[in-house]
Structure 1
C-alpha cells in the first residue's frame, strides 16, 4: 500500500513545485498572451492535473508491481514513465519562466510521443495501467494544440526571457 501511495504522490510533488515556480508568471506574462477562445478556464488546470497525476502515478505502481519492478519486463515502461515525467516537469519552466514558446512546443511534442509509447508499454504489462494513461494523452493533445496556437499567435514575443 505504501508503495502505491508513494507512486501516486511522486507526480504531485513535481507538479506542486512547478506550480509554485510558475505562479508569478501565470499572473503576469501569461495573462498578456493571445490565447484561443477554446482555452479551458485557468481553474480547470489544477483540477485536471491533480486527477492526471493520480492516475499516472497509480498506473506506474501497477506496472512496477505486475512487471517485476525495474529489473523485470517493466524496465522499458518505467523508463518511459520516468522520461515523460521529466519532459512533463520541464515544460512549465520552459514555457512560463523562460517564455520560450518554440522550445515548449518541442518539449510537448516529445512529451506526447513519449506518453503514447508509455501508455502502450503499460498496456502490455497491465491493461488497466494503459487505460489510466489515456486521459493524460487526451489532455496532452489539447495542451499541445493550445501551446501551438499560443506560439503561432504571439510571434512578436518569440525571444526567450533572459535570466
Structure 2
C-alpha cells in the first residue's frame, strides 16, 4: 500500500486542514452556542469528518489499484466523480465553518449526497469493498445535512427563514 495508499488516504484530509486554517478559533465559538443544544461540538464534527475522509481516501485507493493504477482513461469516471464529490464536500465545510453560511453549505451537502450515491454505484462493479466504505460517509452526510439544515433554519440565518403569514385582512 505504501506510498500510493498513504497519499490516497491523506489527500482528502486537505479539506479539513484548510477549514481549520481558515477558521482558527472562530469555529469553536460558532457551534458551541448554548442556544444550539443539538449542534455537536466542532471538535467532534472535525474528528468525524477526518475519519470519514480517511476511509473514503482508502476506498479511492482500492478503486485506483483495481483499475491498474496510473491515471489512464479507465480511471476518468470513477476517480473524476470522486474528485468532484470531494471538492463539493470541502466547499460545504468552508461554507459551514469558515463562511458561516449554512444555507449554501446545505445546498452543497444535498448535491454531495447524490454524488456519493453515484460514486458508490460506479465503484461497486470495480471494488465492492470500496463501494461499501462509502456507506458510513452517506450516514454521516445524513447527520451533517440535518445539523446544517437546523443551523440554517433555527438560528444562524434568520433572514433566510420562512416568515409566518401576517395576521390580519391581507
Name the TM tier (shorter chain).
0.7 to 0.9
Counterpart Cα distance in 1 of 2:147 and 2:68: 38
Aligned twin of 2:113 = 112
Aligned twin of 1:143 = 144
Aligned twin of 1:52 = 52
Aligned twin of 1:161 = none
Counterpart Cα distance in 2 of 1:17 and 1:7: 17
Aligned twin of 2:68 = 68
Higher relative contact order, structure no. (Cα contacts within 8 Å, ≥ 6 residues apart): 1
Residue 36 of structure 2 is aligned to residue 28 of structure 1: no
Aligned twin of 2:167 = none
Counterpart Cα distance in 2 of 1:63 and 1:85: 15
Counterpart Cα distance in 2 of 1:96 and 1:41: 12
Structure 2: gaps of 5 or more residues: 161-170
Aligned twin of 1:156 = 158
TM value normalised by structure 1:
0.85
More helix by proportion, 1 or 2? 1
Give the count of matched residue pairs. Answer: 158
CA RMSD in angstroms comes to 2.2
